[in-house]
Amino acid sequence: MAGSSPAIKPERIFSTGNSTFKTIKAVYADSDEAVAAGKGAGVNLVRRQSDGVLYIEKLVPVSTPIQQARAIAEIDALTQLTLAGAPSYINRMLECFLEPGAAFGSIILEYCEAGTVYNLIQRKTLERQQPKEALIWHTLAGLSKALHFCHTGIDVDRFDLPPPQDWNTLCHLDLKPVNVFFTRDGGKNGIPRLVLGDFGCATTWQDIQDGTAKRTLQLRGTPGWFPPECHASSEGGWDGDYGIPTDIWQMGAVAQAICRLIMVPDMSFVMAERACGRQYSRELNEIVTICMNPDPLKRPSAAKVAGEVKRQMEARGLVF
pLDDT tens per residue, range 229-263: 987 666 666 677 889 999 999 999 999 999 999 99
pLDDT category at 31 given cuts 50, 70, 90 is low
CA dist 21 and 53 (Å) reads 10
Please state the rounded mean pLDDT for residues 53-74.
93
CA dist 273 and 23 (Å) reads 48
Please state the rounded mean pLDDT for residues 174-199.
96
Comparing 98 with 248, which gets the higher pLDDT? 248
Q: What was the pLDDT predicted at 225?
A: 94
Domains and their CATH numbers in the chain: 13-110 (3.30.200.20), 117-315 (1.10.510.10)
Helix (H) or strand (E) holding 108, with range, is: strand 104-110
Distance of CA 79 to the CA centre of its chain: 15
Please state the rounded mean pLDDT for residues 144-149.
98
Please state the rounded mean pLDDT for residues 259-274.
97
pTM above 0.85, yes or no: yes
For 260-284, what is the HEC assignment? HCCCCCCHHHHHCCCCCCCCCCHHH
